[in-house]
Structure 1
Amino acid sequence: MYTPSHFKMEELAEIQEFIKAHSFGILFSQTDQGPTGTHLPFYLVEAEGEYGVLYGHMARANPHWKSTAQDVLVVLAGPHHYISPTWYQAPDNVPTWNYTAVHAYGQIEIFEEREALLELLDRSTDFFEAGMPKPWKMAESQEYAERILGGIVGFKIVLTKLEGKQKLNQNKSPQLQQNVIDGLRAQENSQAHAVAELMEERAAKKTAKE
């Protein structure tokens, strides 16, 4: 992923936290039919491997898993929004797009064994239910879960490289960044406000280091 140095996410822990917070992405790989992508949820286990391991599952009817190459790319996107040049309140600016993203590269392993699939469903449910007031457990529908095992395949992706990017106007002056934040805050949508919040957090961290 093309990433100028001022937009690069440097810390492994920061990238891993991003993956956990934005865990729905696209699995890309080269297949017999050409480049193929599948939209999927993933959950990350940071303690496994050098960069962590991504786990997930897909429909057995999806041909992607049958012919996927071992080397794969997972693209995960965070908040993003259009940036109007009028928000800078300064000349010589053009429209752009602020966004955050992670590209996770690794080697995929497919598994179909009953016990491994049950463990996968149990762990993934625990991960995605963690923020619920009363987390749902797989044990509540164990019989049904076992009946659907034949319709899915599991996978793990041992990560070999992580690239993180936060394009948040870091190449602009603090005042111009604040003007953009104000422009985003004036919009009536959650994506704009999420980008504004990221810009504020990044600016606060930079100030704390100075």
Structure 2
Amino acid sequence: MYIPKAFEVDDKTKIVNFIKDNSFGILFSHHKNNPFATHLPFLIDEKKYDKGVLISHMARANPHWRDLDNKEVLVVFSGPHAYISPSWYEEPRIAPTWNYVAVHAYGEFKVIDDRDEVEKIISNTVNFFESPLPNPWLVSFDDKFIDGLMNGLVAFEIKLNRLEGKWKLSQNHSIQRQQNLVKGLASSDKYHSLEIAKLIEENILKVEEKPN
């Protein structure tokens, strides 16, 4: 991913937390010499292996997994994004742009065949997404219905070798311009304008709190 220095984030903790908060990613690779993508929920275990691992599953009927074992893949996680109008800068000679947050994760794909490991992956996935709910649903592998579903999926892990973080939040502009953008974004109800405004405000506070 193209990342100008002003927008680069290499803080692993920040990137890992972003993935946990924006865990519905897109798995990219080639399948039969053509680009192929699958939208999936992912878990991340940052302590496994040297650089962590992504864990997920997909439908067995999906051909994507069949030629991926031991191959490098890319998973993209997208966060809030918003259009930036030149009018908000209140200055001439400014072009429109788009602010956004994204993480790219690269790693080696491996199919998980062991039934106990597959059950653990499914159980952990369900628990992760159910835990914020008032009445979490629990998966039971003794249920014939669930057992039938298990036969129709493929679990896998992606051993990470590289994480890229891009927080494009107008950090390359002056504090005054950034403050003007916050006001402009607050007036918009399109995309994730309020979330982007909040992130810009957080960046401004960090700069202002730095000792001279």
Q: What TM-score do you get using the length of structure 1 for normalisation?
A: 0.94
Return the alpha-carbon distance in structure 1 between the equivalents of residues 43 and 50 of structure 2. 16
1:184 is aligned with what amino acid?
A: L
1:80 aligns with 81
Identical residues among aligned pairs (%)? 44
Within-5 A mapping of 1:1-210: 1-68=1-68, 70-139=71-140, 142-189=143-190, 191-210=192-211
Deviating more after overlay: 150-159 vs 25-34: 25-34
Q: From the superposition, tell whether residues 157 and 175 of structure 1 become closer, same or farther in structure 2 (CA, over 3 Å).
A: same
Q: Write the deviation string for residues 160-202 of structure 1: whole angstroms up to 9, x where unpaired.
A: 0000000000011111101111111111246111111111122
Q: Deviations over 1:71-93 (max 9, x none)?
A: 00001110001100001111110
Change (3 A) 1:141 1:200: farther
How far the C-alpha of 1:135 sits from its partner, in A, is 2.3
Tell me whether 137-146 or 107-116 shows the greater mean CA deviation.
Answer: 137-146
Q: Distance in 1 between matches of 2:23 and 2:188?
A: 26
Q: Is the 8 A contact 1:78 1:101 kept in 2?
A: yes
Q: Which amino acid aligns with 2:2?
A: Y
Q: Go from structure 1 to structure 2 and tell me whether the alpha carbon gap of 1:140 and 1:150 turns closer, same or farther (over 3 Å shift).
A: closer
- Indicate if the aligned counterparts of 2:141 and 2:147 stay in contact, CA closer than 8 A: no
Q: For residues 102-141 of structure 1, give each alpha carbon's deviation from its aligned partner in whole angstroms, at most 9, with x where no partner exists.
A: 0000001012332222111101111112222232221398
More deviation, 99-108/195-204: 195-204
The structural deviation recorded for 1:25 is: 1.1
User: Is the 8 Å Cα contact of residues 68 and 110 (structure 2) preserved in structure 1?
Assistant: no
CA distance in 1, matches of 2:132, 2:210: 31
Farther off after superposition, 148-157 or 60-69: 60-69
SS in 1 for 2:102: strand
- Alpha-carbon spacing, 1:151–1:199, altered in 2? closer, same or farther (3 Å): same
- Work out the number of aligned pairs and report it: 210
Q: Is the 8 A contact 1:12 1:51 kept in 2?
A: no
Alpha-carbon offset, residue 27 of structure 1 = 0.3
Q: CA offset at residue 208 of structure 1?
A: 2.8
Displacement of 1:142: 4.2
Cα distance in 1 between the residues matched to 2:127 and 2:190: 30
RMSD over equivalenced CA pairs, Å: 1.6
Per-residue deviation at 1:34?
A: 1.6
